Amino acid sequence: MFTYEDLEIGHVFDLIPRTITAEEIIAFARKYDPQPFHTDPEAPQTIANGGLIASGWHTSSILMRMMCDSYLLDTASQGSPGLDEVKWMKPVRPGDTLSGTATVVGRRISKKRPDLGLIDFAYRLFNQNDEQVIAVKGIGLVKVAGTPREAS
C-alpha cells in the first residue's frame, strides 16, 4: 500500500493503456452528455467534427479508471478535495488507445489532519499517435504511514 512517504515529488505512475470503443462513447454520452456528436455517428454535427467523439467528461472518467487500475487501489487514498485544472486538448475517438502518466508534483502534510498528506498530481493522457488528449491537475489525500486507519 502506497502511503504519503512513498510519494516523493517526481514519482511517476505509468497508467495502464485502454482502448476506447464507439459503443462505450455512445453509452456514456446517452446517459450523461447526450450531444449529437457524442451519440449519433450520422448527425451533421458529428460529421462536421470528423466523426464520433467522446465527451470530455467521459475522457475524465476513463482517466479515473486508469488511475484506479494502475495505482490508486494500492494507495492509502482518502479521496480528494478536488481538481485545480482540467484541459481537454484533443478529441478522443473510437479505436483510440489512451496511455499516460500520473506524476507527483507537490506534497505536504495537512495542517488540520496531520495523519493525512496532500499530494499534488499532474495527469496526462495521450492517444496512440502521441497526441495529448487531456491534462489534469489535482490533489489526492493519502494516509501518513503509522497513523491509525479511521473506521469506515
The helix/strand/coil state of 51 is: coil
150 belongs to a structural domain:
no
148 belongs to a structural domain:
no
Structural domain span for residue 134: 4-143
Q: pLDDT tens digits for 96-130?
A: 999 999 999 999 999 999 999 999 999 999 999 99
51 belongs to a structural domain:
yes
Q: Work out the number of other CB atoms within 10 angstroms of the CB of residue 45.
A: 12
124 belongs to a structural domain:
yes
Contact (CB, 8 A) for 85 and 94: no
118 belongs to a structural domain:
yes
101 belongs to a structural domain:
yes
99 belongs to a structural domain:
yes
Q: pLDDT tens digits for 35-87?
A: 999 999 999 988 998 999 999 999 999 999 999 999 999 999 999 999 999 99
138 belongs to a structural domain:
yes
The domain spanning residue 71 has which CATH number? Answer: 3.10.129.10
Q: How many domains does the chain have?
A: 1
